[in-house]
């Protein structure tokens, strides 16, 4: 293999959990080379000093972000707080560099709505025509042509994959959708935060954001876009006392009597060729550990007691399919690579 | 205080988690004396050898259950597998001994339904007229006169307390009720079971029993009974990777535009004089650790985005208000004692 | 009981874990009344808003610390960062108020050594003659007369109780002592700290402070004091991925051939009348959950393979016997109360 | 790549945790093919049904072990209870099939000692000359020629790697060695066992096997063999409330004044060319999560306060370097493959 053919990768803001996950997964990718990783606060620190699991694997140091240097990359991942990618993306895409944003800057097309939920001014309105929502299972053909990928939120990934087949076919009432989501604490990031201390979150469970969570408008917009309807979604997230993993239990009311078998078949057909969606056999009970450290989404579909309600349970690793893994999957699509490269990790069980 | 005035308590089948919880809580009860605790398999073993947290507190040994000896008690708790209490209750109540069953033998009045869900013949049909469902907040006056108390299941306790005020007042559609329940693993009991090994359940989250769980018919029967209607309930339980605690998120659709404030007021009024139900202020986020080791149920009520759906989040300790604590609360009612005796433990936080 | 006879208690700095533990345990104490609890940052906040497990139990608010108001108390607990108690204690004891410091200000008599380990100037040299080290099992008679109690560190409590019987009798080499300590994360307190995030400490185990930990000089000074010798102690603390609990495994080499039975007998005799030390039967394996939420120290003594080394395993709840519970025990001694008052919590198991 | 060049692998007894770990790691091995996996109890069950993390990766079913079929393999791993490998190994090695036993059958050369600790008759005395202890860092040259590999226990792996450099050079007293080991619960295997229930082991910590653990004689024999001396080892294992990971803190007394730097240099030199031993920089604090899911052993060396005692802290993943990963490493050596093949997993952090 010729080194000069490798995709040159830059990572902006790599000190958080999505940063280390990009590095962990890319370590096994045969066709990329991570050439720079930036952090203002950690300038000069070796990546392996911050993340000792990478000792002996990466010889990189964090550097101060420099737009000129980033232009030498083929693709730049933003693993930054909200607002950073929109300020740097234009210079990069004008130079032909692909941008994949793991934050929320480009996830919602309705910028007024975005500004309401994220509490800041959106400065990248002119970039939005170059943006594609990076959920490959529903936007793959457009991703191939995109300049900027808005990598989806973790809850949206698990919930959209779970409910869209039913919504697209009109089999469920658009006003009936309830998504009860549960996430491990790594979803809250690596910032110092009393509520996320081990002594606070361990051995406890709670709902949060009941009055509204930023992933709700993101999901509703994509549901409406994919289905051409207007969906009413109730979404309640919860915090699980564990590090990694996300489970979403989705409830929807059938518009017509449809057999469990027909719905199972619909899901199996929908995702038959998808490398990272696993529709488990009827009666299965997906557990988050079945996807821990891997890019898989596994799901099962139920029609309890043959009633009018469908229940879908969908699990992902919030840091992989819910963040860094999906970003790499999008990169692979952007560069015409096998979508599975760098994403062959088997889930760690037990 | 005269020792001969103390309530004489027997416990049948005390080797499981509800058994040790009865002992732990009763240790601080000033008006009872535990005189016997039975276990066929552990006959002769000191309680404190099996449960070293009780060293120095109880000097009891497990003994083989003996109906004649049990008749010397004032009340007998059954912390046994399903089917045991119904075989021994008749002899006890005929002798004037009160029976409190922590298993499911008497929870469902419709015995055909019971037999379907529990997979055994119900041999206590003639006892059912002496049974009262032991949810004090809704059955207190009848509990006072009961001979047999059917101590509610853990999920039913958290869900019925959460939804009954809305169902009783007709404020929500009876066909709209969805309860997404989550339980710590102590709910599965102390039996050896590969799926409940620490190496299996830790750091993972899953739904289970999606096609049907025994607590669903129990809840529907009580909802119908209390409200005089016919409720359609979708219930999905989940397993949390922690020992103790249960959270239920309950969704219901309003029948009419009702303000968040009005619903908050309804709940506060409903439970104003209840010692073990805490309607938290609007905007609160109950966590299971806020009730760990205590008999409290804490809850909060939401109307997200002012929409048509109400969301209630309700937390209990599955072993206390969801089992042993509620059983003691029922005992206190039966014997005319202060309902709070033996139940003054402050939740262990952190 | 006459309310005006109750001991009036003040707590300075009650927002941390030792603060809430003082309140939790004192809630069941029949002879005290908590009259004030201070916090500069949380002035005006209800205690029950910060610690919802205390809802319905305390009607207190945090207030700014005020020395004049504190003088109205009979006893003031300092649950503050190091350095605070020494600045306020003098005014209080001159007024006849007892001081119990849960921080380290008064734990080491050698103030030069203290200053080296704590990195600050000690401003209370003139107070040291009024100080007694609050390990009741070894200092009870002096505690009764003390004005200031230096409440021991958590590791010192578990290790001193474990090793002192052997050291006092000269049965082990004073140069052979190794203490391998392990603590749950609540020991690190409630401050925001990336290393203590749930996503960082969960499902991982590590040694820390190998080159030196502040509890080492504290222990050596007390070992020397109690035994009149000069002890060489190697101490390595470790972090357990759980909230509460501390286990210390202590290794020592026998000076002479002494039977396992003789050593067991020595320990049983030493602690026979101690309400909060439980020497478990030979062959027992203490677990931290056997003391969770309680003020007990449980231990077992081994002589593996009849060799020359003794192994002691000693468990406490780091927040109770290792902090707030022991402080209350000291208070009871100071005021001539039954040492067990307020400390009758049975450990929460499972 | 030609399929007929791949090493044909059989796994006997693959239903436990070491079995699934063999499969997980071998999935990324380019030069092997797993052709059979046996289990009497699960005959006919698809591997992916028992271990859903392997869905889509293996199309194997468990089969009844059949010695004739196993002879078609190049190597057979035994992931079985103690006693199975010794009963089947002879037929296999006579046929030229290499045997790697992950159980203890061949770990101790002194068979009388083995029989004492394992409580069964050893039936493979004639095989012992064909056995090599599979700790590559100390037995690599002999492993290359072995017919049977005794894959080391998990505690021995972490402790021998940590202490042998000091013992080999005579820098520490052979009578001074204390190893305080701590293991996650996956080390106890997948058998149903009340003590390993999540509700029992979570949020608790304990020592076990204080009077004697089977890994103690294994370690002593290898220490003696490698150093030519007679070592006195005190070993106390502990159970950590987590799934994966093992930490050993090892204490030893210097025979002469040797600087921290010199010892650090000794360790770095000893392991300079080892792909799976990482001597971390002085002052580092290895955490088990730094090796979770990987075959690395990471360690740090301390001389606290410049005293006479050396402290080593050594971490491995008990299921990888402590079991399946080391077995694959041994296989790679046996077949002249790059030792790192199949073992390139980056530790999962967080």
Parallel/antiparallel/unpaired status of strands A206-207 and A177-183 = unpaired
- How much is the pLDDT for B5? 86
Check if the beta carbon of residue A323 is closer than 8 Å to that of residue A13.
no
B202 CB within 8 Å of a chain A CB = yes
Q: Specify the pairing of strand D277-279 against strand B246-253.
A: unpaired
Position C330 scores a pLDDT of: 98
**For position D5, what pLDDT does the model report?**
86
H or E segment and range at residue C178? strand C177-183
Q: Is the distance from CB of B294 to CB of B282 less than 8 angstroms?
A: no
Q: Which chains touch D (3 or more CB pairs under 8 A)?
A: A, B, C
Asked if B234 and A207 come within 8 Å (Cβ–Cβ), the reply is: no
Is B73 labeled as catalytic in the residue annotation? no
Is residue A197 classed as helix, strand or coil in its secondary structure?
strand
Contacts with A210 (C-beta within 8 Å, 6 or more apart), sequence order:
A236, B285, B300, B302, B304, B311, B313
Task: For Cα atoms B25, B29, B30, give the angle at the middle one, nearest 5 degrees.
Answer: 165
How many Cβ atoms sit within 10 Å of the Cβ of residue B329? Answer: 30
Which positions ≥6 away from C167 have C-beta within 8 Å?
C174, C177, C223, C226, C227, C229, C231
Determine the residue among D28, D313, D346, D349 to mutate to test chain A binding: the one whose Cβ has the most chain A Cβ atoms within 10 Å. D346
Known catalytic residues of C are 154
Q: Which residues of C touch A51 (CB under 8 A)?
A: none
Say whether pLDDT at B337 is over 80: yes
Indicate if the pLDDT at residue C74 is higher than 90.
yes
Kindly report the average pLDDT of chain C as a whole number: 96
Instruction: Answer whether residue B4 shows pLDDT above 70.
Output: no
**What per-residue confidence (pLDDT) applies to A2?**
43
Tens digit of each residue's pLDDT (9 = 90 or more) over A132-187: 999 999 999 999 999 999 999 999 999 999 999 999 999 999 999 999 999 999 99
Contacts of A198 in chain C (CB under 8 A): 185, 196-198, 200-202, 241, 243
List Cα–Cα distances, A153 to A119, A211, A215, B305, in angstroms.
17, 18, 7, 21
Nearest to B235 by CA among B248, B246, B222: B248
Judged by a CB distance cut-off of 8 A, whether residue C1 touches chain B is no
For residue C5, name the pLDDT band (cuts at 50, 70, 90): confident
Mutation target among D172, D173, D234 for the C interface, most CBs of C within 10 A:
D234
Which residue, among D183, D198, D200, D350, would best test binding to B if mutated, counting the most B CBs under 10 Å from its CB?
A: D198
The average pLDDT across A286-297 equals 98
Taking each continuous run of H as one helix and of E as one strand, the counts in chain C are 11, 14
Residue A44 touches chain D, beta carbons under 8 Å: no
Taking CA–CA distances from D183, the nearest residue in chain C reads C205
Write out chain D residues lying below 8 Å of A346, CB-based.
24, 27-28, 53-54, 57
Residue C89: band (very low, low, confident or very high) from pLDDT cuts 50, 70, 90: very high
Q: Which residue of C lies nearest to D208 if distances are taken between CA atoms?
A: C285
Q: What does the pLDDT read at residue B27? A: 97
Q: Test B245 with A205 for CB contact under 8 angstroms.
A: yes
User: Are the beta carbons of B167 and A207 closer than 8 angstroms?
Assistant: no
Q: Average pLDDT in the A244-263 region?
A: 97
Q: How far apart are CA A196 and CA C191, in angstroms?
A: 11
Which of B154, B160, B161, B167 is catalytic? The answer is B154
Residue D4: its pLDDT value, please? 56
Q: Does the structure show a pLDDT above 80 at D230?
A: yes
DSSP 8-class letter at D27: T
By Cβ distance, the residue of B178, B204, B244 closest to A178 is B178
**D53, D294, D349: residue with CB nearest A51:** D349
302-341 in chain B: CB under 8 A from chain A: 302, 304-305, 307, 309, 311, 313, 315
Decide: D205 and D241 in contact? Cβ < 8 Å: yes
pLDDT the model gives residue A4: 55
Mean pLDDT along residues D203-218: 97
- Average the pLDDT over D258-279 and give the result: 98
Q: Is B348 on the interface with D (CB under 8 A)?
A: no
Q: What average pLDDT score do residues C92-121 get? A: 98
Query: Residues 114-173, chain A: which have Cβ within 8 Å of C?
Result: none
pLDDT digits (tens, 9 = 90+) for A21-65: 999 999 999 999 999 999 999 999 999 999 999 999 999 999 999
Residue of B nearest to A251 (CA): B178
C-alpha–C-alpha distance, residues D84 and D96, integer Å: 19
**Residue-range domains of chain A with CATH:** 3-152+322-334 (3.40.50.720), 155-318 (3.30.360.10)
> B260, B301 in Cβ contact below 8 A?
yes
Render pLDDT for C40-55 as a digit per residue (tens, 0 to 9): 999 999 999 999 999 9
Name the residue facing B210 among A232, A313, A315 (closest C-beta). Answer: A313
**Residue of D186, D191, D197 with shortest CB distance to B196:** D197
Task: Quote the CA–CA distance of A152 and A139 in Å, as a whole number.
Answer: 11
Of C51, C56, C347, the CB nearest to B53: C347
Contacts of D83 (CB under 8 A, 6+ apart): D103, D105, D118, D120
Among B180, B243, B286, beta carbon nearest to A203: B243
Q: Is residue C101's pLDDT more than 60?
A: yes
CB contact under 8 Å between B249 and A211, yes or no, is no
Residues of C in contact with D206 (CB under 8 A): 247, 285-288, 313, 315
Per-residue pLDDT tens over the stretch D115-151: 999 999 999 999 999 999 999 999 999 999 999 999 9
Per-residue pLDDT, averaged over A292-301, amounts to: 98
Rg, chain D, Cα only: 20
Structure tokens at B177: 């009720």
A residues 228-267 lying closer than 8 A (beta carbon) to C:
241-243
Give me the helices (H) in C178-228, please.
198-201, 215-227
Whether D3 has a pLDDT exceeding 70, the answer reads no
- The yes-or-no verdict on residue D50 having pLDDT over 70 is yes
Q: Helix B154-168 and helix B136-145: axis angle, to 10°?
A: 100
Please report the beta strands in D293-341, taking only residues with DSSP state E, as ranges in sequence order: 297-302, 309-316
Task: State whether residue A50 sits within 8 Å of chain C by CB.
Answer: no
pTM of the complete model: 0.97
Q: What does the pLDDT read at residue D159?
A: 98
Q: Is the dihedral of CA A278, A279, A282, A284 positive or negative?
A: positive
**Is residue A5 over pLDDT 90?**
no
Q: DSSP readout, A285-306?
A: --BGGGGTTS--EEEEEE-GGG
Using one digit for the tens of pLDDT, what is the confidence trace for B21-66? 999 999 999 999 999 999 999 999 999 999 999 999 999 999 999 9
- D264 neighbors D270 (Cβ within 8 angstroms): no
What is the least distance, in Å, from the CA of C77 to any CA of chain A? 23
Per-residue burial over B149-184, b if 16 or more Cβ lie within 10 Å, else e, is bbbbbbbbbbbbbbbbbbbbeebbbbbbbbbbbbbb
What's the pLDDT at A3?
A: 47
pLDDT band at C1 (very low <50, low <70, confident <90, very high): very low
CA closest to D48 among chain A residues: A290
Q: How confident is the model at residue C172 (pLDDT cuts 50, 70, 90)?
A: very high
Q: Which two tokens stand for residue B213?
A: 């769980």
């Amino acid at each position: 293999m010729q080194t000069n053919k490798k995709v040159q990768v830059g990572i902006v803001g790599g000190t958080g959990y999505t940063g280390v996950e990009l590095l962990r997964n890319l370590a096994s990718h045969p066709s990329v080379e991570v050439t720079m990783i930036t952090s203002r606060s950690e300038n000069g620190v070796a990546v392996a000093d911050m993340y000792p699991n990478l000792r002996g694997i990466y010889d990189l140091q964090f550097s101060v972000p420099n737009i000129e240097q980033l232009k030498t990359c083929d693709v730049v991942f933003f693993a930054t707080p909200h607002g950073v990618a929109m300020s740097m993306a234009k210079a990069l895409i004008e130079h032909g560099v692909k941008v994949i944003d793991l934050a929320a800057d480009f996830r919602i097309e309705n910028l007024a709505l975005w500004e309401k939920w994220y509490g800041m001014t959106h400065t990248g309105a002119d970039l939005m025509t170059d943006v594609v929502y990076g959920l490959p299972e529903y936007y793959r053909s457009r991703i191939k042509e995109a300049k900027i990928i808005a990598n989806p939120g973790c809850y949206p990934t698990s919930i959209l994959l779970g409910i869209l087949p039913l919504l697209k076919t009109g089999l469920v009432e658009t006003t009936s959708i309830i998504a009860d989501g549960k996430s491990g604490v790594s979803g809250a990031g690596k910032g110092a935060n009393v509520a996320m201390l081990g002594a606070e979150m361990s051995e406890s469970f709670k709902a949060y954001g009941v009055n509204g969570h930023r992933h709700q408008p993101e999901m509703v917009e994509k549901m409406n876009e994919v289905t051409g309807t207007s969906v009413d979604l109730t979404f309640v997230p919860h915090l699980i006392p564990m590090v990694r993993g996300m489970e979403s239990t989705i409830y929807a009311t059938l518009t017509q009597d449809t057999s469990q078998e027909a719905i199972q078949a619909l899901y199996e057909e929908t995702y038959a060729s998808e490398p990272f969606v696993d529709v488990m056999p009827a009666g299965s009970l997906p557990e988050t550990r079945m996807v821990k450290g891997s890019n898989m989404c596994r799901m099962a579909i139920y029609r309890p007691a043959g009633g009018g309600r469908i229940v879908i349970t969908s699990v992902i690793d919030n840091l992989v399919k819910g963040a860094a893994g999906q970003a790499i999957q999008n990169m692979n699509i952007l560069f015409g690579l096998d979508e599975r490269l760098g994403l062959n990790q088997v889930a760690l069980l037990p």
